[in-house]
Amino acid sequence: MTMTTYLVVISLMLHGVTFLWILTLMQRNAKVEDERRHVLRLKDEIEDMLFSYTNEIKEENKELLKELKLSTKESQARIRQQKDVPSSKNNTSEGNVQPLLKQTPKNNEVIDEDYLPPILDEADNQESVVYEQSDTAKVLALAKQGMSAEAIAKKLSLGKGEVELMLKFYR
């Protein structure tokens, strides 16, 4: 064999090694690009989720404001009626008067066994005061029992996103 043959063989081997090296780099580049796309997709999903949560909370806040305005108007109307009617304890029977703060528990209300209401002083011991467990405490108690976020939202008449946020913040 001549020297030219050796050089051609060595050149072909070097070309093969270079070709394999280029293929390996292209595969690595494709993996990096796939990971970058995956991260961007996750970022977009998180942004969409936060956007939907904030929109849901905004809608619930609007509904709450409407309810507060209605209840404020109703309470103002009640106060006006009470001012117009002469107040005497003989005219009102004890059974018809209900304190504004007293609330009856709802059928679907959750009571956490660990929750204890604050102890009242003798001066504060009024029958019209009722302490109610917060929505967050109810959500956490139901989650502790193994219920899903969707089931908790239905049971407590809350938004699913709101329940998921509570669980994420307090777990």
Measure the CA–CA gap between 140 and 113, rounded to whole angstroms. Answer: 12
> Coil, strand or helix: which one is 144?
helix
97 found inside a domain: no
The separation between CA 54 and the C-alpha centre of its own chain, rounded to angstroms, equals 10
Q: What percent of the chain is modeled with pLDDT above 70?
A: 72
Q: Is residue 140 in a domain?
A: yes
Is 23 within the bounds of a domain? yes
Question: Using an 8 Å Cβ cutoff, are 132 and 159 in contact?
Answer: no
Query: Does the residue 34 lie in any domain?
Result: yes
Residue 16 Cα distances to 2, 11, 20, 31, angstroms: 22, 9, 6, 23
Q: Which domain holds residue 82?
A: 9-86
pLDDT at position 93 is 43
Q: How many domains does the chain have?
A: 2
* Cα–Cα distance, 157 to 148 (Å, whole number): 14
Cα 79 from Cα 119, distance rounded (Å): 31
Q: How far is CA 57 from CA 67, 102, 163, in A?
A: 15, 28, 11
60 found inside a domain:
yes
Distance CA 51, CA 57 (A): 10
* Cα–Cα dist 162/63, whole Å: 14
Residues 21, 62 within the same domain: yes
19-58 pLDDT tens trace = 999 999 999 999 999 999 999 999 999 999 999 999 999 9
pLDDT digits (tens, 9 = 90+) for 111-144: 656 666 666 665 555 566 667 888 999 999 999 9
Query: Which pTM was predicted?
Result: 0.35
- Do 143 and 171 share a domain, yes or no? yes
C-alpha of 28 from chain center:
39
> Domain check: are 109 and 43 in the same one?
no
For residues 17 and 81, state if they share a domain.
yes
Residue 122 included in any domain: no
* CA nearest to 12, candidates 25, 27, 20: 20
- Looking at every residue in the chain, the average pLDDT score rounds to 80
Angle at alpha carbon of residue 15, lines to 12 and 21, rounded to 5°: 145
Report yes or no on 63 lying in a domain: yes
